[in-house]
Amino acid sequence: MSIEYKEIAGGVCAAAGFKAYGVHAGFRKNTTKLDLAMLVADKPCTAAGTYTKNKVFAAPVGVTRSHLADGIAQAVICNSGNANACTPDGYETAEASCAAVSAVTGIPAENVIVASTGVIGVSLPLEPLTGALPELYGALEASAVGADMAAQAIMTTDLKKKEFALSYEWDGKVIHIGGMCKGSGMIHPNMGTMLGFITTDAAVSSAMLDKALHAAIEDSFNMVSVDGDTSTNDMVCVMASGMSGADEILDENDAYKAFAGALNALCMKMASAIAADGEGATKFLRCEVTGAASREDARVLAKSVISSSLVKTAMFGADANWGRVICALGYSGVDIDMKTIDISFSSEAGSIDVCKDGGTLLFDEDIAKKILSCDSVMIHCNMHAGEFSAVAMGCDLSYEYVRINGDYRS
Amino acid sequence: MSIEYKEIAGGVCAAAGFKAYGVHAGFRKNTTKLDLAMLVADKPCTAAGTYTKNKVFAAPVGVTRSHLADGIAQAVICNSGNANACTPDGYETAEASCAAVSAVTGIPAENVIVASTGVIGVSLPLEPLTGALPELYGALEASAVGADMAAQAIMTTDLKKKEFALSYEWDGKVIHIGGMCKGSGMIHPNMGTMLGFITTDAAVSSAMLDKALHAAIEDSFNMVSVDGDTSTNDMVCVMASGMSGADEILDENDAYKAFAGALNALCMKMASAIAADGEGATKFLRCEVTGAASREDARVLAKSVISSSLVKTAMFGADANWGRVICALGYSGVDIDMKTIDISFSSEAGSIDVCKDGGTLLFDEDIAKKILSCDSVMIHCNMHAGEFSAVAMGCDLSYEYVRINGDYRS
C-alpha cells in the first residue's frame, strides 16, 4: 500500500469542520504577545490524547485526561505564559476555564480540552480568559489565518511557529490532517514533553484514534530530547470531525493504515520542528542507531547519544569528538559490545566514518568540520548486534540555551 | 565512638611510606602543563579500587582491575591529555606502561596501577612515558611538594588542584590518610566518573579496604553529577602501607569504623571539590532529599534534581524557579506524591521556603535572589513519605561549560 501524503497549508484549520484563532488575553504582562488560543469544531469529534509521564503533572493535564475519557471533544482552550501547575487552585481554575468556554460556546465543559504552558507554581488568573473569550470566540476562522494565530498563541520560548498539514486521497475522498505544536526547552524522550493539537476530517472511532496516536507518538515526540527534562504539562491531542465524507475507521483495515501513516508523518514533522527549535539550538541533530539487538535497545541507545550534554556541546563546536558518542552508548544501560561499534557523521556536506570496531579511524578533520558545520547533522551508530534501528532527534547545546534558561522567569 | 579527624597538609604523601611527583612528559603538545604523575610506596601495599560502570571503558581501567585482583599494589602511573580509550593498541600500551614502570622501579608490573585521562580515540604514545620515567622516578619526594606536583599532573579541565589529607589517633598511634583527584566534566552519579588516588599508613586487609572504599564511594563520588555523562576512564584506588604501626584491621571492629570514617570524610572532601569545580561552574550546588520512603528513593530523587539542566541553569541565574525542582522530582522514576512535597533553598545568606505541600508559597524574590547568589547553595526537598535521606552534589550550568566543551579537542 503506497499513499501519497501532500503537504498543504492551513495547520489545524486544514481539515473540514474546525475554526481557530489566538489573541493576547493578558496572561503575559508587559507584552502584546498572543497568549490564548482557541480551537473549536463544528460538531462533537472523536478524540484521543497522550500525556506527560511526569509524576508531577499540571492541573490541565488531569482535567483534560478526565474530559477525554469518553473519547469525545469539541474545543481546545490553551494559554501560554503560565503552566497552571503546582498551585493550590489549579484544578479549580482549569475546570473554571472549561466552564467559561462552555458558557460562551454552548459546548459542554466536559468536551473541552484545556492546556497551559509557561511558569510553574504561580496561580493562573481566570480574568484574562473570561475577559478575552467573547472576542476570541467571535474571531474564530476556518482559515489559514485562524490556524496561524492559534499556533502563535501557544508559543513560549519557541522561535518558530510550528504548524503543518497533509492531505491524501482515500476511496475517492480527500482527507486532511493538520496540527500545531509548541515546545523547545524541557523536551525529553518521555512523551515528547510539549503541547500538540491535531485535527482531521477523517472519520475515526475514538479507540482507533487512540491507537494511531500512541503509535505515532512513539517514533516522533517520544524520540525528541532537548535538555533531558520532562515537563509537567505535556500533552498531544487529536480530534476527528469525520467531515471528509469517508467511511468511519473502526478497525485496523487499510483505511486505518492510510490514516495512521498520515498521522505518523505529521507527528514526525512536528517533532522534528520541536527538536530543531530547541532552546538556543544552532543545529538539528539526529542519531540513527542501526544493528541493535532489539527495538528498545535501539531507542535507548539513540536517545542516550542525543541527550548527552557532551555530545551536544561537541556538535555545537562542530567537533568530531566521536569518543563522546561511544561513551554515551556505553552508559545508556544497554548491554553492548564496544568492539563491534561503527560510528559516522553525515550532513548535506557529505559523510565521514570516524570509528570502526569501537576504535579510532584516521579521518580528515577539515572534512569532518565541514560536515558538522551544517544546520542538520546525523550521527550514525551501527552496533552490529542485531537488526533493529531507531532515530532520536535533538539539537546542540549552545551559550544561548544557558542564557534563555538562566533567567526564564524574569 | 567519636573520633576527631584533623585536616592536614601533604595530600598523597601525608601517610608514611609514599613518594610522589609529576612532570611534563609531552602527552600534551604546545604546553608545559604537567601531564604525568607517579606515586610509589616503599613496600607492597594492600589495595582496592572501584571503576566506571560505563560499558565502554578505557584500557587502563581493564588493566588496573586485573592488577588489583590480588589486592596488592605498590605504584601508580597516571597521564593526562589522552584517555587511552577506544584505540586498537590501548591494552598493549597500558600493559607496556606498567612494564616500563617496573623496569625503572623494580616493582612487579602487576603491582602497578595505571590510569589515563583526556581525549578518547587517539592512540596513547609510549615515548613520553619511557622518556620521562627515569627523571620522574628520581624526583619522587615523600613531601607536600611531591604530592602537589602529582596532583597537578593529573588535572585536565580542572581549574583547581584537588588534594586533601586527614589524621586521627587510634590506640596511641597517629594514622594518616590522604588523596588526590581530578574531574570536572563528565561527572555523573555512576561511580563518580573521575580519577582518585588515596594513600594511608593504616594497616588494613585488602578485603576490608575494598569494603571501606565501596561504602565511602557510595555517599561521595557516586552522588556527584556535573553534566550527566559517565566517563570511560573513571577509577578510585586506595593503597594502605601499614606504616603507622597500628594493628592491622581484619574485620569490622572499632578500628575499622574509625578508618572507614576517615576514608568517608576524605572522599566527601574530594567529591565536593570535584562538584564545585565542575566545568564552567560558578557555584556549588547540593540537593538534600529528606523524608523519602527508602534510601534508594532519596538518592535517585536528589540526583534527578542535581542533574537537571533546567535546575542548573536556573541556579546559574539565581532564579528561585522551584517548579523545575519539583518537575525533576516528578520525572525521576520514583513513585512520589506531589501533594506532600516541601521545597526550600538555603545558603550562607539565609534560608527560604518556596513550596509547601506541592504548591506555591508567597516568598520575597529579592531575598531568594540573595540566597541563590551565594557560591554554595543547598536545595532542600522534604518528601514527607518516610524517614530516608540523601545528599547529591553538583554545580550550575554556565556559558563557560558550553565554551569548554564545544571545542575540547582543539
Q: Is A321 on the interface with B (CB under 8 A)?
A: yes
Please tell me which residue in A52, A193, A230, A290 is annotated as part of the active site: A193
Predicted local confidence at residue B194, as pLDDT: 84
The 3-state DSSP class for residue B174 equals: strand
Question: How do beta strands A376-382 and B18-23 pair?
Answer: unpaired
Nearest CA in chain B to A361: B121
Distance from CA of B187 to the nearest CA of A (A): 11
Predicted local confidence at residue B227, as pLDDT: 57
Residue B122: which of A360, A401, A410 has the nearest Cβ? A360
Residue B177 scores a pLDDT above 50: yes
Predicted local confidence at residue A190, as pLDDT: 39
Between A183 and B226, the more confident residue is A183
Residue A327: which of B232, B319, B324 has the nearest Cβ? B232
**Chain B neighbours among A 330-359 (CB < 8 Å)?**
330-332, 334-336, 338, 354-355, 358-359
Query: Which residues from chain B sit within 8 angstroms of residue A232, using beta carbons?
Result: 323, 326-327, 330
CA A38 to chain centre: 18
Residue B201 has what DSSP assignment? -
Nearest CA in chain B to A54: B331
Question: What cell does A198 get?
Answer: 491535531
Distance from CA of B326 to the nearest CA of A (A): 7
Predicted local confidence at residue B248, as pLDDT: 97
Predicted local confidence at residue B53, as pLDDT: 83
**Chain A neighbours among B 144-203 (CB < 8 Å)?**
185-186, 188, 190
Closest CA to A123 of A81, A84, A79: A84
Contact flag A319-B409 (C-beta cutoff 8 Å): yes
Catalytic residue list contains B193: yes
The model's pLDDT over A350-396, given as tens digits with 9 standing for 90+, comes to 999 999 999 889 899 999 999 999 999 999 999 999 999 999 999 88
Whole-number Å distance between alpha carbons of B175 and B166: 8
Mutate to test the interface with A, among B405, B407, B408, B409 (most CBs of A within 10 A): B405
Contact flag B313-A83 (C-beta cutoff 8 Å): no
Question: How do beta strands B195-200 and B235-240 pair?
Answer: parallel
Query: Which residues from chain B sit within 8 angstroms of residue A123, using beta carbons?
Result: 360
Predicted local confidence at residue B192, as pLDDT: 36
Question: What cell does B35 get?
Answer: 601531564
Query: Which residues from chain A sit within 8 angstroms of residue B326, using beta carbons?
Result: 56, 86, 120-121, 232
Placement of cell 522561535 in the chain: A159
B226 band by pLDDT with thresholds 50, 70 and 90: low
Mutate to test the interface with B, among A230, A309, A345, A398 (most CBs of B within 10 A): A309
Query: Which residues from chain A sit within 8 angstroms of residue B228, using beta carbons?
Result: 228, 307-309
Name the pTM for this structure. 0.82
Beta strand residue intervals within A171-316, DSSP E: 173-182, 195-200, 224-225, 235-240, 284-292
In one-letter notation, the amino acid at residue B316 is F
Please tell me which residue in B52, B93, B157, B193 is annotated as part of the active site: B193
Contact at 8 Å (CB) between B332 and B294? no
Average pLDDT, chain B: 92
Partners of residue B165 on adjacent β-strands:
B8, B178
Residue B147 scores a pLDDT above 70: yes
H/E element, A307: helix A295-307
Contact flag B313-A56 (C-beta cutoff 8 Å): no
B183 band by pLDDT with thresholds 50, 70 and 90: confident
Q: How many helices and strands in chain B, by DSSP H and E?
A: 11, 16
Contact flag B405-A314 (C-beta cutoff 8 Å): yes
Predicted local confidence at residue B307, as pLDDT: 87
The predicted model gives B349-365 an average pLDDT of 93
Whole-number Å distance between alpha carbons of A84 and A78: 11
Contact flag B121-A399 (C-beta cutoff 8 Å): no
Predicted local confidence at residue A162, as pLDDT: 96
In one-letter notation, the amino acid at residue B26 is G
Contact flag B55-A330 (C-beta cutoff 8 Å): yes
CA atoms within 13 A on the CB side of A276: 15
Q: Is B119 on the interface with A (CB under 8 A)?
A: yes
B188 band by pLDDT with thresholds 50, 70 and 90: very low
Q: How many CB atoms lie within 10 A of CB A276?
A: 22
Average pLDDT, chain A: 92
Contact flag B310-A336 (C-beta cutoff 8 Å): no
Whole-number Å distance between alpha carbons of B10 and A33: 61
Nearest CA in chain A to B191: A331
H/E element, A376: strand A376-382
Whole-number Å distance between alpha carbons of A325 and B180: 29
Query: Which residues from chain A sit within 8 angstroms of residue B407, using beta carbons?
Result: 317, 319
Residue A308: which of B229, B322, B402 has the nearest Cβ? B229
Distance from CA of A405 to the nearest CA of B (A): 6
B157 band by pLDDT with thresholds 50, 70 and 90: confident
**Chain A neighbours among B 80-109 (CB < 8 Å)?**
83, 85-88
The model's pLDDT over B239-285, given as tens digits with 9 standing for 90+, comes to 999 999 999 999 999 999 999 999 999 999 999 998 888 777 889 99
Distance from CA of B316 to the nearest CA of A (A): 6
Residue A327: which of B54, B122, B313 has the nearest Cβ? B54
Predicted local confidence at residue A146, as pLDDT: 98
Predicted local confidence at residue A329, as pLDDT: 94
B184 band by pLDDT with thresholds 50, 70 and 90: low
Residue B360: which of A121, A316, A323 has the nearest Cβ? A121
Predicted local confidence at residue B357, as pLDDT: 94
State the Cα torsion A88-A90-A96-A97 to the nearest 10°.
150
Partners of residue A79 on adjacent β-strands:
A36, A116
Contact flag B360-A327 (C-beta cutoff 8 Å): no
Residue B191 scores a pLDDT above 50: no
Q: Is B321 on the interface with A (CB under 8 A)?
A: yes
All residue ranges of chain A with pLDDT < 50 are: 186-192, 408-410
Predicted local confidence at residue B404, as pLDDT: 66
Query: Which residues from chain B sit within 8 angstroms of residue A338, using beta carbons?
Result: 55-56, 86
B55 band by pLDDT with thresholds 50, 70 and 90: confident
Predicted local confidence at residue A345, as pLDDT: 98
**Chain A neighbours among B 239-298 (CB < 8 Å)?**
none
Contact flag B401-A398 (C-beta cutoff 8 Å): no
Distance from CA of A27 to the nearest CA of B (A): 18
Contact flag B186-A231 (C-beta cutoff 8 Å): no
Residue B22 scores a pLDDT above 80: yes
Question: What cell does B42 get?
Answer: 616503599
Q: How many CB atoms lie within 10 A of CB A234?
A: 28
Residue B230 scores a pLDDT above 80: no
Residue B185 scores a pLDDT above 60: no
Distance from CA of B136 to the nearest CA of A (A): 30
Beta-carbon contacts below 8 Å between A and B: 217
Predicted local confidence at residue A305, as pLDDT: 94
CA distances from A120 to A86, A360, B324, B327, B361 (A): 6, 46, 8, 9, 12
Q: Is A373 on the interface with B (CB under 8 A)?
A: no
Percent of chain A scoring above 70 in pLDDT: 94
Distance from CA of B357 to the nearest CA of A (A): 9
Predicted local confidence at residue A406, as pLDDT: 66
Query: Which residues from chain B sit within 8 angstroms of residue A407, using beta carbons?
Result: 317, 319
Range of lowest pLDDT (A254-263, B192-201, B296-305): B192-201
Longest Cα–Cα distance of chain B, Å, equals 69
Distance from CA of B181 to the nearest CA of A (A): 21
Whole-number Å distance between alpha carbons of A236 and A256: 19
Predicted local confidence at residue A87, as pLDDT: 86
Query: Please, what's the b/e burial string for B344-379 (b: 16 or more CB within 10 A of its CB; e: otherwise)?
Result: bbbbebeebebbeebbbeebeeeebbebbebeebbb
